Structures are given as C-alpha cells and as structure tokens.
A and B are shown apart, each in its own frame.
Chain A
C-alpha cells in the first residue's frame, strides 16, 4: 500500500476522511493538519506513522522521574511508544486532558502525541509555505519554522528533524 493510501486509511480509521487538494501548478507537500490546544499544526506525512483513537486515557502509562513533556508510554501492538506533550514542547499551552486522539510520528524512533482533533490532509504548494521566525524563543527551541494558511487560519509546520534533534528528544 502506497504512502497516501496508507495515510488515508489511517485517517478513515481515526474518523476523519476529509482530504483537500490545493489547485497547484508546482511542487506540493502533503500535511496532516491537527489541532493542539487552540493552535493548528501541520505534520508532513513523510513522518506520520499512525493516527488512532485511544480507547481509554488510562492506556497512557505515566512514568516517574521524567520531564513533564514526557507524559508516559503506550503499548502499540507490543511496542512501547513514548507519549509527548507536544504543546509543552512547542510552548502552546496545556494539552487538553480529554484528548484521546493520538498521532504517531517516526524519525529516529516512534513518538506519540495527543491532539484535540484531526482536521484535514492537505497538499500544499511549497510556494505557499512561509518561513517563520520567533524572536521570543531560543533558536534551538523554535520548531515551527514554516507556516501556511488553511481556511483563513494559520497552520504551523512542525520541523520534525529539528524536534528530534532538540534537547527534548535528543
């Protein structure tokens, strides 16, 4: 199964079948758009592995002696996957306590993070991506380095490579 087909199947399983394609003429990148707190975030599908509803929030097993952004681990078909509070890492405020939707990404290792809602899977023309600089954050902690517009709102693109090389996950 191809990458796009796989992601669409995952979205369907997560109860979100929405998929929009921009009228483009150039090179596009596909992003999963999710909401974390009040923010919209875009995740390049290259790093996306799974999207699912967690049956029970008690399935997240908290760990002692870890920093607050590592909220625990989950058992995904026999594999222990860390659960990160992306909102803490990105400085977006608190993760909603009721969130049961999980997104798993994979770069150096698998990591899961709770999101409030799966919004869309959207192809974006690279020309629509804008660079973002945040003078309020240290350069190494600034992981939303690009953004694009979606239905009148701004979506911050998670720089996954920077996330994995950051002090939070390194």
Chain B
C-alpha cells in the first residue's frame, strides 16, 4: 500500500468470469509458468485460484497448458503458492474507492479471504488476501 498517494497496487487475475485483486505487498514473485519455479519448491500450502472461488471452474489444467503462479511472501516461515490460468495485470486503485465488506462478512469468513471490492471498468474486482489462508488453512 502506498499510503502517501492513497493508492493500492494490486495484481488482478481474470479467468473463467472471475476477477480478483491481490495486494502486491503479499506477493514475492510472479511466474508466468509455474514449471519455471523448479521442482524443488515445496510450499506449505498451494492453491488453485479457481477452486477457491464459488462459481469458479477449475479446468484441470489441460496437458501442456501453461499455468501461472503467484509466490506469496513468507511470514513465520510458511510459504504459499497460488496457481491460475487467467490473464494477469497490475493496477493502482485509489483506496477511498475500495468498498470494504461489512464486519459481519469478515467475521463469517473462516479464514478471511475477500476483504473488499473495487468497481472497475468491466465489473467488480474482488479484493482478496491469501495471508489467513496460508497461515490457518481453509476451515
């Protein structure tokens, strides 16, 4: 988060009708092809983005299809990896225009995943955090 300018830099991932944004501060590295990370990488938790989102459809990764990945920044030694098929972009969004989810929704999510929305051209972007998912795992 760039507090001086009131902007938040996010990676947006689009695919299968889903559009999510991840705070760039959570991301250590982006790989356009997960195989480039090498076989010796063994994250504590690895997720397929489409499988995390209701309504999303994991296509199973067709043989030979290139799968991109976000390598999440490690906290307390836990590593996380998120793979996805969709297109990725980087955006700076004004923080005051973020629509936070109500406290009730934050509390109901175990773990907290979607924390807000941003209305961009082409529809809403769900702002998500992988922090609690990596630290606590899915309920």
A interface residues (Cβ-Cβ under 8 A, vs B): 61-67, 70, 72-73, 75, 78-82, 109-111, 169
Contact = CB atoms under 8 A, between A and B. Distances in A.
Q: Give the interface residue-count category, chain B.
A: 20 to 34
Given A63-B114, A65-B113, A82 B105 contact: yes
A78 B114 contact: no
Nearest to B133: A65
Nearest to A110: B102
A70 to B, nearest CB: 5
B99 A64 contact: no
A66 B53 CA distance: 11
A63 B124 contact: no
B101 A64 contact: no
B87 interface: no
28 contacts: A61-B126, A62-B53, A63-B54, A63-B114, A64-B53, A64-B109, A65-B110, A65-B111, A65-B138, A66-B105, A66-B109, A66-B110, A70-B105, A73-B105, A73-B117, A75-B117, A75-B119, A75-B124, A78-B99, A78-B119, A80-B99, A80-B101, A80-B105, A80-B116, A82-B101, A82-B102, A82-B105, A109-B103
Interface of B: 52-55, 99-105, 108-114, 116-117, 119, 124, 126, 138-139
Given A75-B117, A75-B124, A169-B104, A63 B99 contact: no
Given A63-B109, A64-B114, A80-B99, 14 more contacts: A62-B54, A63-B54, A64-B54, A65-B113, A66-B108, A66-B110, A72-B54, A78-B99, A80-B100, A80-B101, A80-B102, A81-B102, A82-B101, A109-B103
